[in-house]
Chain A
Amino acid sequence: MSLLARNRGNGPAADASGKAARPGGKDPRSAGEIGAERRRSRMGYWLILPGFAFMLLFFVLPVFSLLATSLYAKPPGADVGQFVPALQFGNYADVLGAYWQELLRSFAFALVATVAALLIGYPMAYLVAVRLRGRKLLQGILLVLIIAPFFTSFILRTQAWKQILADEGPVVAVLRAVALLPEDGRLTATAFAVVCGLTYNFLPFMTLPIYANLERLDTRLIEAGTDLYASPFQTFRTVTLPLSMPGVMAGTLLTFIPASGDYINAALLGNNQDTTMIGQVIDSRFFRVVDYPGASALSFVLMLAILALVILYVRRFGTKELL
């Protein structure tokens, strides 16, 4: 979360990396001590070198590899999957022209799912962190329940939703009986189901950071608000919510980013026409169509778009001017 911490300046999440354990450098030390210090700092390089070499090889270089591949050209008469290095910027225009709808839809679905997860996850976190404060055992049990979904397979749970919401399943039967759903109405294979699946799958990512934040909230501040004749809603809006913004920021980012790239929910709970998300397109351009440059161009666009959105979001809401 270093990006967040830096923009917010003094947030509690600001990590300790800036302040190294070395005691302040002004004290007069002997040459031997300074020599030892220098050895220590060389030791630091040895510690981080293997890990960063790995990240360089398998995270940084692949991003450049992706960029390079996105500009490859298909020579005339080449076999399937054969491309030559080139600078074919037209690839971007091609895929954007063909798939701008899927790209926008992915962000729209992710946005709705993020807002829904916030509306569900905030009360959940508030209940456990503030309302149940002091009841350690109950808090512990509920916390385990919040992370419980991580203990079983993501895909098994999504498949379970598919079967729960299926046309012959219990939910559809009840909704049809009370006429909330027309006689031939269905829940699976709709945009609604995809957004519900996304909300469900990323809800713990929303709830946990907000919980971590609210847990440290000083409840005396809420009492002070009440003492000053603020209504509970006013207290919430002017005291609790602003104080929990770092948690909300982290939660919304941890939900929005993976949700916009996800394609399991769209594949299992959606249909083939109007719920396709960009991840599905990238996957099928790579493996079914074997259009590596196109798939790479789409991936690169997705990465840049998310980076831009995240930076805009953090700039806009990462300060205290929100409320």
Chain B
Amino acid sequence: MRQTIGRWLVPAIGGLAFLFLLVPIAYVFAFSFNDAGRTNLSWRGFTLENWQNPCGAPAVCQALGNSLQIGATATLLATILGTAIAIGLVRYRFRFNATANMLIFLPLATPEVVLGASLLAQFLNLGADLGMGTIIIAHTMFCISFVVVTVKARVASLDPKLEEAAADLYASPMQAFWRVTFPLLLPGIVAAALLAFAMSFDDFIITNFNSGNVDTFPKFIYVAATRGIPAQANVIGSAMFIVALLVVIGGQVLASRRAKLLAAR
């Protein structure tokens, strides 16, 4: 009797949990087709109009543009700085190694409110104008830790003998890095960059503290939530979902193809 319960309990809870995870996504998707008018609160009928005219609510597209720009810049900066740190920390020994690791770990263990509030305190004390610049700084800051953690795992799994082999074949350290190490690290770096972009694009709390009157996509939705979110926001949310899904599936296919190629050699 107990065995049977045990056998069914895990799939039952697991299945319900998947439902729990996916219901709101389905809801966002469905209501992107709602003939909503200004407030997208109740179902009024199916339409493709929102998808044909995603910028029908102009503020949505303005906010989306800001978010994309911030995400791209912060991702680029965080990926470069974070990858360098990851390589440095794994490949070299420092006297302050523990401190360095702690410094990378701490932002991940600090709630967003505190990160946002401390940066805001800093900017206020410096008299800095809040806007795109301060948002990009804030996003780069919290993305670096994610990049370091992701790339570090990849660097650690890399065989240093490969670089030594390159050196034995008279490659300069630069050549060895760009021809051997970097291509091997690339999947990890790409994964880190995608993660950074996703974190930046979806961030609300830290952004809200440091954005002044610049709207990002999440901030726009948060502010609009009190008056009613235009259906175009659902369109953009759903479109991002599809893009992300395709990127992840594409990445999986590429990785497995690469693994097969390597195995065949």
Tell yes or no: B124 within 8 A of A by CB. yes
Please tell me which one of the listed residues B124, B152, B202 contacts residue A153 in the complex, with CB atoms under 8 A apart. B202
Contact partner, B208, options A124, A128, A283, A299, Cβ 8 Å = A283
Closest to A145 in B: B18
Known: A51-B144, A54-B140, A299-B114. 7 other contacts (CB 8 A): A65-B122, A131-B10, A152-B241, A166-B41, A168-B42, A232-B2, A307-B109
Closest 4 pairs (CB-CB, A-B)? A261-B111, A44-B92, A16-B156, A47-B88
Q: Which residues of A contact B254 (CB under 8 A)?
A: none
| Chain A interface residue number, banded | 35 or more
Task: Contact check, A296 vs B20: say whether CB atoms are below 8 A apart.
Answer: no
Interface residues of A (CB under 8 A from B): 1-3, 6, 15-18, 20-22, 40-41, 43-45, 47-48, 50-52, 54-55, 58-63, 65-66, 68-69, 119-121, 123-124, 126-128, 131, 140, 142, 144-164, 166, 168, 200, 203-204, 231-233, 253, 257-258, 260-264, 267-268, 278-279, 282-283, 286, 292, 295-296, 299-300, 302-303, 306-307, 310
Instruction: Give the Cβ gap from A16 to chain B, nearest Cβ, in Å.
Output: 3
Report yes or no: A66 in contact with B22, Cβ–Cβ below 8 A: no
Q: Is B11's CB within 8 Å of the partner chain A?
A: yes
**B204 and A302 within 8 A (CB):** no
Residues in chain B near residue A128, CB distance under 8 A? 14
Residues of A within 8 A of B132 (CB): none
The 8 Å CB contact of A66, one of B89, B93, B117, B160, is: B117
Q: Do A153 and B249 touch across chains, with their CB atoms under 8 A apart? A: no
Residues of B within 8 A of A2 (CB): 98, 101-102, 104-105
CB-defined contacts of A69 to chain B, threshold 8 Å: 121, 124-125
Q: Which chain B residues (80-114) contact chain A, with CB distance < 8 Å?
A: 81-82, 84-85, 87-94, 97-98, 100-107, 109-114
Given contacts A15-B101, A152-B238, A295-B117, contact A124 B205 (CB under 8 A): no
Known A-B contacts A2-B101, A163-B41, A200-B20; the reply to A152 vs B237 at CB < 8 A is yes
Which residues of A lie under 8 Å from residue B240 when comparing CB positions? 151-153
A38 to chain B, nearest CB (A): 11
Given A20-B90, A54-B81, A155-B221, A120-B13 contact (CB < 8 Å): yes
